[in-house]
Amino acid sequence: MTRPPQVPVSEGSPLRGALLWGALSVLVAPRAPLPLTAAAPARLDLAVMPLGEPVVVLGEHWLAGEAVAIAVCLVPGLPLGVAAAREFAVSGRGTPLPYDPPTRLVTTGPYGYVRNPMQVSMAGAYLVLGTLDARFLAAVPVVVAYGAGLAAWHEGEQPAGRFGAGWADYRRAVRPWGPRLRPVMPPASVYVDAGCSTCSEVGRWIAARNPSGLRVLEAGDHPGGPRRITYERADGQAFQGMAAVAHVLTHIHLGRALAGWFLLIPGITRFAQLCADAFGYGPRAVPAGPDRPGPGQARAPAERGKRG
């Protein structure tokens, strides 16, 4: 009887982590906390890999390789992967999978900078891994070929039929591979309390950066009476506090956007908000009517706070 071929795995497989964990974890649980998102695939891999014998033979250092896979593939790939998958799920009401495509055209988040953020991030991950092992560089042209071939063909057929002129305009404005330094974003608004000195400074800082598609408005004019800085999109999605700040950063330029996407990772947003609250930037009441100062004005010193 012929023995099945063996695949030695001496140090785990960072390549497997890059291919599966980065996409699978986000698609299955896009809102899960970061530690759980990283731990679940790792636990599954630890349980399944030993069952692969005799086809897969684990070396004595495979656990060390597993740790390297998590450190250099899974965790660094999460910010952009989470941001891209989140936009598909939240804004597009779908997934990147062909059998469950978005029902709305997604042009927000990473898609305001580049049309193929998932392929771009994967190619970038392989380039980084290439500094550890040159063999990973061979995967870069494979990713590019897939994106420029199959994905581009699918892009040209499906979105054009579903989204028509909107897709054509977006395709002309945003490149498939070379990220823009400044995004093309649909309209959105950020509401900032002009009666709070620190909050008004934040509002002026945002306006001075000339954010793409973003209006800076007075919080007192918001019908819902927000108690934190509030970011709203034209489709009705709203975010408050540090989540709002993170979304605002994505309207400025690519460098700020990377920080915003990192801040939007589940778990990190909550931790950042707890820190902000602890330093006095928690919720506050915004007066309405005649007691509300106009933009550029401030309350009396006794009422002024640094929270917003």
pLDDT digits (tens, 9 = 90+) for 194-217: 888 888 899 999 999 999 999 999
pTM above threshold 0.75: no
Report whether pLDDT(17) > 90. no
N- to C-terminal Cα distance for the chain? 73
pLDDT value for 55: 61
In a domain, 261, yes or no: yes
In a domain, 215, yes or no: yes
Report whether pLDDT(183) > 90. yes
- Residue 302 per-residue DSSP state: T
In a domain, 264, yes or no: yes
In a domain, 44, yes or no: yes
The answer to whether residues 196 and 284 touch, using CB atoms and an 8 Å cutoff, is yes
Q: What is the mean pLDDT of residues 47-62?
A: 67
Q: At which residue do the structure tokens 């793409």 appear?
A: 212
Long-range contacts of 165-173 (CB under 8 A, 24+ apart): 166/105, 167/105, 170/105, 170/107, 170/115, 171/115
pLDDT value for 80: 73
The residue segments making up the domain with residue 67 are: 7-173
Residues 91 and 224 in one domain: no
* Prior bond of 176 cis (ω within 30°): no
Of the pLDDT bands very low, low, confident and very high (cuts 50, 70, 90), residue 249 is very high
For 132, the token pair is 């550890």
Q: What is the mean pLDDT of residues 34-45?
A: 59
In a domain, 18, yes or no: yes
Cα separation of 77 and 70, whole Å? Answer: 10
Q: At which residue do the structure tokens 């004019």 appear?
A: 221
In a domain, 2, yes or no: no
Q: How far, in Å, are 19, 68, 208, 260 from residue 25 at the CA level?
A: 11, 17, 38, 20
Report whether pLDDT(296) > 60. no
Of the pLDDT bands very low, low, confident and very high (cuts 50, 70, 90), residue 304 is very low
3-state SS class at 264? coil
Which is more confidently placed, 236 or 38?
236
Residues 125 and 18 in one domain: yes
Residues 85 and 149 in one domain: yes
User: By percentage, how much of the chain surpasses pLDDT 90?
Assistant: 27
Please give the helix or strand (H or E) that residue 97 lies within, else none: none
Among 64, 70, 65, CA closest to 42: 70
Residues 16 and 156 in one domain: yes
Q: What is the mean pLDDT of residues 4-27?
A: 44
In tens, the pLDDT along 107-157 reads: 999 999 998 888 887 787 777 777 777 877 888 888 777 777 666 666 666
For 234, the token pair is 């034209």
In a domain, 198, yes or no: yes
Residues 12 and 88 in one domain: yes
Residues 251 and 142 in one domain: no
In a domain, 69, yes or no: yes
Which is more confidently placed, 182 or 293?
182
| CA-based radius of gyration for the chain | 23
pLDDT value for 45: 64
Strands (DSSP E) contained in the chain are 7-9, 56-58, 188-192, 214-218, 230-233, 238-240
The answer to whether residues 240 and 229 touch, using CB atoms and an 8 Å cutoff, is yes
Chain Cα centroid distance, residue 196: 30
Which is more confidently placed, 64 or 198?
198
Q: At which residue do the structure tokens 């054009």 appear?
A: 160
